[in-house]
Amino acid sequence: MTNNNPKIALITGASRGLGKALATELSRRGWRLLLTARGAEDLAAVASELDAEAIAGDVADPGHRERLAAAIERLGGLDLLVNNASSLGTSPLPRLADYSREVLTGLFDTNVVAPLALIQDLLPRLRERDGAVVNISSDAATGGYEGWGGYGATKAALDQVSNVLAAEEPGLRVWWVDPGEMRTAMLADAVGDEAADAPPPEAVAAPAIAGLLDSRPASGRYVAAELGVEAGAR
């Protein structure tokens, strides 16, 4: 698609799964993309396929976030930040009674502190364009599922970060989205072969999130399956 004035998005965790599917969906809609993920080889392949820019690294690293912010400055602005990168933690998922506090601290660094830090770094550019923030949540943020206590606690915290950010930044759209179960490597790490029964992220979650950009509903928590996108629809 040719677009002389494309909107610009930064997507984290874009080398596979939901991040890759959402990048593909936005590329199809003419967006200019800056992609990041820790896996340099996989990220480069996605960026090449989508004619996107890519900077490999860990969003929990302040130096990497500085490189991303510099790239956004070079691109001239930012319309959308998608905080998709996250960690599941220990697999198989441990009960809270056995949870390593060191692992839990690392989870909060990756799943909560890093997304907030990236938001803080990029807020001036988002404000300039009445931009949007999408923080990827989970049903584990609200459900009491055995073994999901550590990951779920981080996603509940990210939900509340989003909730307060929405109140403090009324000029932006802040959406925190439960994408539902998806056929991803993370779900396979958590539940094994059962993940094969879930729809791929490009079937529901990615088009549902992209649809938010079209309708720009009020800031808030959304569930992808409730956004009117049927599995397989494009």
Q: Which positions are annotated as active-site residues?
A: 151
H helices, E strands: number in the chain: 8, 7
Tokens 């364009």: give the residue: 129
CA dist., res. 147 & res. 91, Å (int): 10
Amino acid (1-letter code) at residue 92: P
Residues 10, 36 contacting (CB under 8 angstroms) = yes
**End-to-end alpha carbon distance in the chain:** 16
Contacts 24+ apart (CB under 8 A), 195-199: 199/231, 199/232
Give the single-character DSSP code of 51: T
- Closest Cα partner for 190 from 181, 201, 178, 179? 181
Identify the H or E element spanning 184: none
Q: 141: helix, coil or strand?
A: helix
CB neighbour list of residue 169: distance below 8 Å, 6 or more residues apart: 123, 127
User: Which two tokens mark 182?
Assistant: 């998806």
